[in-house]
Amino acid sequence: MSTIRLTVLASGNGSNFKAILDAIESDELDAEILLLVTNTANCGAAQKAIKAHIPVCTCSLKSSGGRTRQFEIMSKAITESKSDLLVLAGFNLILPTQIVTQFENKIINIHPSLLPSFSGGMSPQPQKAALEGGVKVSGCTVHLVTEELDAGPIIAQRAVAVHHCDTVDSLANRILKEEHIVLPQVIKWFSEGRVCISDGRVSIRNTE
């Protein structure tokens, strides 16, 4: 099995980006991050990428000169990277249809809730909605990206208990710990060619 080539798209702190980097560095994951795409200059993810000598494509709305140009820059960088998999790790922009179509079944996203509950919105909105909904269990979901927001086939989920005394921050942090496990795990399944997609459902093939 050859090394899986990744483009990671992120807008925030980049703790999930770091979890992928750590899994690669510890040889748990046979992957290479070719590119980080961000729409937020100097965000934590961009700083972590620079530190790790990973090329960064920054295309903020302002620096790009408008939405159309922003998507053109992003699309060109992603296409030229020749990645096997695009990983949305806290990316707060909805991808244009053209990229979603071009990379069908090759884009994954991590979302901080047990989808289909609390879909839409960026962290910490889903965690806040979970607290307000009074649920006793929440968690995170890794799913394939389709044109419908947060509605693509689910690949993996991890649950956490929601405590009576939880704040949005405490719940978000508990969920993040699980995100850092499940995201590298799902990328590993892709690298091993174990992700099967059939009739809009995902299953993971067993190893021999």
Does residue 144 belong to the site contacting ligand GAR (CB under 6 A)? no
- For 52, other C-beta atoms within 10 Å of its C-beta total 14
Q: Which residue is nearest to ligand GAR (CB)?
A: 90
Return d(Cα 177, Cα 173) in angstroms, integer.
Answer: 6
Does residue 89 belong to the site contacting ligand GAR (CB under 6 A)? yes
Instruction: Please report, for residues 8, 15, 82, 83, the alpha-carbon distance to residue 66 in angstroms, rounded to integers and kept in the order given.
Output: 22, 28, 25, 26
DSSP string, 50-103: HHTT--EEE--HHHHTSHHHHHHHHHHHHHHHT-SEEEESS--SPPPHHHHHHT
Query: Of the two residues 83 and 123, which places its CB atom closer to ligand GAR in the complex?
Result: 123
Q: Does an H or E element contain 33, and which?
A: strand 31-38
- Cβ-contact 145, 88 below 8 angstroms: yes
Instruction: Kindly identify the residues of this chain, within the stretch 105-134, that bind ligand GAR according to CB under 6 A.
Output: 110-112, 122-123
The stretch near ligand GAR (CB under 6 A) out of 12-20, 58-66, 189-197, 200-208 is 12-20
What is the widest separation between alpha-carbon atoms in the chain?
A: 51
- Side chain identity at 204, as an amino acid letter? I
Query: Of the two residues 19 and 78, which places its CB atom closer to ligand GAR in the complex?
Result: 19
**Nearest approach, Cβ of 67 to ligand GAR (angstroms)?**
19
Query: Of the two residues 110 and 187, which places its CB atom closer to ligand GAR in the complex?
Result: 110
**Nearest approach, Cβ of 36 to ligand GAR (angstroms)?**
11
Does residue 139 belong to the site contacting ligand GAR (CB under 6 A)? no
- Cβ-contact 141, 110 below 8 angstroms: yes
**Nearest approach, Cβ of 13 to ligand GAR (angstroms)?**
4
The stretch near ligand GAR (CB under 6 A) out of 56-64, 77-85, 104-112, 157-165 is 104-112
Give the residues lining the site for ligand GAR (CB under 6 A).
10, 12-16, 45, 89-90, 110-112, 122-123, 140, 176, 179
